A and B are shown apart, each in its own frame.
Chain A
Amino acid sequence: MDLETALFRPVQLDRRKEILREALLRRRAELRKSWKHFISRDGLESLGSLATEVESFLSGQGSIHDWRLAATFTWINCDASFLDCLRAIALVGKVEYRPSDTNPARLSPLDINKLSGDERLKTLCARYRCPLNIGAASESDVAEELLRQLMVPDRAKLEAGEEFDVDIVLLKLNLVGIRAMITRDLRSLDALNYFYELPHRSLARMRASPRYVALWLCIYAQLLSTPDW
Chain B
Amino acid sequence: MRVAVLAGSIKGGMRIAKEIENLPGIDVFVVACNVGMRSPLLRWSRELLLALKSFNWWTLTTKGCRYAQQGRLIILHRPLDDPASIERLRSLQCDVGLHAANVIYRDPTISAFRFGILNAHIGILPKYRGRCVAEWSVLQGDPTGVTVFFIDSGIDTGARTVLREFIPSNGWNCVRPFKNMLFGSDARLYRKALEALMQPGVRFEVNDILKGKRHYVMSRMFIHAVDEILRDRATLG
Contacts and interface: CB of A to CB of B under 8 A. Distances in A.
B229 A144 contact: no
Contact of A148 (B214, B219, B228): B214
Interface residues of B, number: 21
Contacts of B26: none
Contacts of B224: 23
B216 A151 contact: yes
Contacts of A144: 213-214
Interface in B187-237: 213-222, 224-225, 228-229, 232-233, 236
Nearest to B232: A15
Interface stretch (A41-49, A93-101, A188-196): A188-196
Central interface residue in B214, B222, B233, by most chain A CB within 10 Å: B222
A148 B218 CA distance: 13
A13 B141 contact: yes
Contacts, number: 56
Interface residues of A, number: 22
9 contacts: A16-B139, A19-B232, A144-B213, A186-B140, A190-B216, A194-B216, A194-B218, A194-B219, A197-B221
Given A187-B136, A190-B222, 18 more contacts: A12-B141, A12-B236, A13-B141, A15-B236, A19-B225, A27-B221, A144-B213, A144-B214, A147-B216, A148-B216, A155-B217, A187-B213, A187-B216, A190-B216, A193-B221, A193-B222, A197-B219, A197-B221
Interface of B: 136, 139-141, 213-222, 224-225, 228-229, 232-233, 236
